[in-house]
Every structure is written in C-alpha cells, then in structure tokens.
Amino acid sequence: MAVALACALLAQEPADSASEKTRLHDDLAASALESGEQLVKLKAWDEARAFLELVRAKSDARAEALDKLIAKTEKQTSGLKWEAKPSELIKAFGAERAKKFFSYAKAWKEKDAEASRWTEAEAEILDDLLDYVKAYARLTQIRAHYELPKTRFDWKLSVPAVWHAEYKRLNPTDGKETEGNPGYSSEGMKSGENSITSRGEALTDHLEGIIHGAFHRTMILNPPLATTGFGQSQGPKSGSVIDVLSGVKADRTYVGPLAIPSNNSTNVPPAGFDDNLQIVKDMAMRELGYPISLTFFDSTLRPTEVKARILESLKEVEFYLSTPENPALPKRYPNNRNTILLIPKRILKEDTDYHVKVSYKIKGVPSDVEWRFRTGR
C-alpha cells in the first residue's frame, strides 16, 4: 500500500517546467469557461468575447469549449459599457490566476530561468487583466466599425511589450532601450522598435490616444495587422506599449482608401485628441478641429495633386492640409504615412453635420472621394 501511494504521489508531480506550465494553461482555460459563462449571462457580450479570445490566445487548452462559448457572443454587442459586475468578475479572475503564474515563476526561477521570466510577465498581464481586456475589446470594436479584419491578442508579442513598458517606467527619459540600464532586455528593445509607447498613461488611455491620433491611428487600423501585443507597467511613472508592426501580415489585402471618420459616423469628437504629437506649429491638437484623414494602405498608390474641402452646410471650413507630396512632418513621416490629412483650424461645432470632399490623382488617373459625418458633444 505504501509503495502504491508513493507511486501515485510521484505520478502527480510535474516531470519538468514544461509539463507544469501546460497544466497551468489548462487550468487557466478551464477557469475562464466558468467566468465566460457568467459574462454571457450578464449579456456583457463585447467584454465576454474579448476576455475569452484573450485567454484562448494563451493556449489551445479547452479550445473547442472556448470557441463554442465565443460563438455565443458573435453578432451581439453590449456597447462596452463596462458595468461593475463584468469588470469586477474579469479583475477577480485575473488576480486569482496571476497568483498561480507568479507561484510558478518563483518555483522555477533557479531551475528554468527563461520559463520563469516569461511566466512572470504573463502573471503581470493577468494581474492587470481588466486593462488588457478593455484595450483589446476597444481595438476590436474600432476595427469592426471601420469594417477591418479582426486583429488577435498575441501573448508572444505582449510579454516583450510588458518588458519594454517596465523599461520605460524605470527609464522615463530614454527614447530606446540601452543595454545595461535597469529593465533592459533584447526582446523588450525589439518590441519598442515595433511599438507605439507612452509614459504616464494606462493601457486603455494610450490606445484611445492612438485611435484618435492623426498618424498613429493609421498603424492601429492597418488592415494587415493580424496580431497585436499589449504591455503595461504600473507605478509612479507607468509605461504603456502597443506593438503595431510585429503582427503585420503581408498576405492580407485591403481595397482602400480608408476615410476617418467613416462615412455617416456620429458622435465624432469636435476637437483633436492627441497632444503628444504637434502637427501644426505652436498649436495643440485640442485647440484644433478633429483630424480628418484619407489613408492609402497600398504603398504603391501615392496620391498626388490633392485638393480638398470641408463643408458645414454650404459654409467652407478652413483647415490645414497635409499630403504625401507636402507632408506636415517631413522629417518624422516623409510621405505622411500615405495619408491625406485635413485639420480644421478651429474646433468643430457640436451636433453638426460636415461634408468632406477630396480629389487626387493616382498614377495620373483622377479620383474623388466624398463622405459625411456628424459631431457629438
């Protein structure tokens, strides 16, 4: 009996770090199913979908069951209201699972330093899970609004993004990672080169700034962006990182151009949002009207001889015009990211309809694009 019991206990012990990590992932997926069911019952559709897809991206454990639950949320929307119950559920789930990941990282630090290092970063993601789910859900929402292919949450890109966010927090004045500085890693350095980073902002605020930023949004709304890495490090000097280049897949095609705001959009902000990038000399974006853009994601299609108008009823709205031929920031964006950009010289009126007209030539062939939108309050 004693021998049999000893053998049974021996069989339960993990043979190596890999087998224990597999069990850790399976446990994560199994627990997510229960929490996902609760989110579905609360009709927090967007929150449930983002939460389940994020966990599904971590491992194929319980893949079939997770996919079935995700399918229940498709074609449903909660409008991302982020009510208390769904938020607390996601937050509590992440905090509880993070304990197990931190425990694994500590237990294997000496025997498998690399597995420990990665798992600790994964634990940090789980510990801040609500922020990651919010950011990913918002990105999914905005890409769906523009009828763009979904981009997937990528843990392999997110772990280095966490490391780079930590570096930014520890070295707030550094533009790039420098070997020997606190928090340096080669993976984090590479992540930083492929990311839009921010100091002093939570991940969700950072993403919102990117969505409304005149040039940065062209990267987060890039149609070939198949997977995205997210990372944040919280503290007195927090850092946020969103990898917008590593997950670009050349085989994805898009027939553009993409107009922002999209045709017939409502509740468009009257003013600009991103003050981190000054486009008009001596003017903050918040002092100007919401930036309007037309982006050509095919680099072979370079618009020339651009002419544009913004109309409020029959009144002309004055604006600054930036084009690939005459870019606003030639040193930073030599071809303006293939974007035609119109920045109204004054904050737009609230609850007002606007009509945009843009004409240009592509390889000598003339073309016209017109669209409308309505501002909010």
Whether the Cβ atoms of residue 56 and residue 70 lie closer than 8 Å to each other: yes
- Where in the chain do CATH 2.60.40.1220 domains reside? 258-375
Cis peptide before 257 (omega within 30 of 0): yes
Per-residue pLDDT of the chain (377 residues), as tens digits, is 454 544 443 444 445 889 999 999 999 999 999 999 999 999 999 999 999 999 999 988 899 999 999 999 998 999 998 999 999 999 999 999 999 999 999 999 999 999 999 999 999 999 999 999 999 999 999 999 999 999 999 999 999 999 999 999 999 889 899 999 999 999 999 999 999 999 888 899 999 999 998 889 999 999 999 999 999 998 877 889 999 999 999 776 666 799 999 999 999 999 998 767 789 988 999 999 999 999 998 888 899 999 999 999 999 999 999 999 999 988 888 778 899 999 999 999 999 999 999 999 999 999 999 999 999 98
Each residue's pLDDT tens digit, 244-256: 999 999 776 666 7
Each residue's pLDDT tens digit, 311-336: 999 999 999 999 999 999 888 887 78
Q: What pLDDT score does 36 carry?
A: 97
pTM given for the model: 0.91
Each residue's pLDDT tens digit, 57-97: 998 889 999 999 999 999 899 999 899 999 999 999 999 99
Sequence-ordered alpha helix ranges (H) in the chain: 2-12, 17-41, 45-58, 63-73, 84-107, 113-127, 129-145, 155-170, 186-193, 203-212, 217-220
Q: What is the CATH number of domain 258-375?
A: 2.60.40.1220
Give the DSSP letter string of 318-334. Answer: PEEEE-SSS-SSTTTST
CA-CA-CA-CA torsion sign (133, 135, 138, 144): negative
Whether the Cβ atoms of residue 311 and residue 358 lie closer than 8 Å to each other: no
